[in-house]
A and B are shown apart, each in its own frame.
Chain A
Amino acid sequence: GQQLNQSPQSMFIQEGEDVSMNCTSSSIFNTWLWYKQDPGEGPVLLIALYKAGELTSNGRLTAQFGITRKDSFLNISASIPSDVGIYFCAGQETDGGSQGNLIFGKGTKLSVKP
């Protein structure tokens, strides 16, 4: 089935650093979503993007819906320890399939630099 290519797979951060991750798809998406998942929990929505070119912020998080509708990025500015976790991009294809089923990337694991 359709998959999203998410990179990087993992990264180490020091407090205060900016972080960037992205997702690409071979097909066009009409919605991009960014989630954070903590250990033992379900994904929690961070940012939702509905229009090509849209740039949306949520506190220190900024995400963009690529113009081609095949990619999206998420930036975290001035990272703090509680940013540690796994970040997933998810999207919904334009042909719909059925409304509501999301396609997820494999995640970017954020860890604190030792």
Chain B
Amino acid sequence: NAGVMQNPRHLVRRRGQEARLRCSPMKGHSHVYWYRQLPEEGLKFMVYLQKENIIDESGMPKERFSAEFPKEGPSILRIQQVVRGDSAAYFCASSPGTGLYGYTFGSGTRLTVV
């Protein structure tokens, strides 16, 4: 029973490029959450999605960032025209329903912008 799968584990992008981070939730989980963690900080909520719907994007920067969770395939967090300040660890969590039961984090994608 695989956990939450995130890939790539490490991603290096030059300033101005696009970064695409993928998250495959646990089997049977239809709710996905994205968080960002800066060095020496806790995780900060970005966006909450269910299949084909964005439920809450209150933590998402208004520009350059977007997220989707299509009917088929993984959830994608897309960062356009990356800047150095986007360097961080991005974590995805999934759950089977609303609330915190079964809420599980992936191992994260470490994005480095050079």
Contacts and interface: CB of A to CB of B under 8 A. Distances in A.
Contact of B43 (A1, A6, A43, A99): A43
A101 B56 contact: yes
A85 to B, nearest CB: 14
Contact of B105 (A40, A44, A48, A107): A44
Q: Which one of A33, A44, A102 has the highest number of Cβ atoms from chain B below 10 Å of its Cβ?
A: A102
Contacts of A22: none
B100 A31 contact: yes
Contacts, number: 69
A4 B41 CA distance: 11
A106 interface: yes
B55 interface: yes
A105 B41 CA distance: 8
Contacts of A106: 40-42
Q: Which one of A42, A44, A88 has the highest number of Cβ atoms from chain B below 10 Å of its Cβ?
A: A42
Contacts of A43: 43, 91, 105
Q: Interface residues of B toward A: which range?
A: 20 to 34
Interface string B85-111: 000000101010011100111111010
B58 A97 contact: yes
B96 to A, nearest CB: 11
Interface in A71-95: 88, 90, 92
A98 interface: yes
B31 interface: yes
A82 to B, nearest CB: 18
Interface string A44-71: 1100100000000000000000000000
Interface of A: 1, 4, 6, 31, 33, 40-45, 48, 88, 90, 92, 97-107
21 contacts: A1-B59, A31-B100, A33-B100, A41-B107, A42-B4, A42-B107, A43-B105, A98-B48, A98-B55, A100-B98, A100-B99, A100-B100, A100-B103, A101-B33, A101-B48, A102-B45, A102-B100, A102-B103, A104-B42, A107-B41, A107-B42
Interface of B: 4, 31, 33, 35, 40-45, 48, 55-56, 58-59, 91, 93, 95, 98-100, 103-108, 110
